[in-house]
Amino acid sequence: MNREEKRNYLLERGWWSHYHEDCWFESSKDDLYVEKGTGDIKGFKPMGEGVKLEDAFKILTKNKK
């Protein structure tokens, strides 16, 4: 798979990148919420907890087997 196909594979299976294209998170482990009054989304994980696209793809494909 090329990079774009891996990116789409991750997005379709509940992963996301928030800070930049090579900082991925598994959405099922998020604690996101909308702050009342402002409507801001809170609870994003710190950038240091993100993994590179290749690593996220490996984690996902390993867990699916």
What's residue 65's pLDDT?
59
| Amino acid identity at 51 | V
What's residue 32's pLDDT?
85
Query: How do beta strands 41-42 and 33-34 pair?
Result: antiparallel
What's residue 23's pLDDT?
95
Domain range list for the chain: 3-64
* pLDDT bucket at 50, cuts 50 / 70 / 90: very high
Residue 2: name the closest of 63, 50, 52, 57 by CA. Answer: 57
pLDDT above 90 (res 58): yes
Average pLDDT for the chain: 91
The answer to whether residues 14 and 61 touch, using CB atoms and an 8 Å cutoff, is no
* Spatial separation of the C-alpha atoms in residues 28 and 44, rounded to whole Å: 12
pLDDT above 90 (res 7): yes
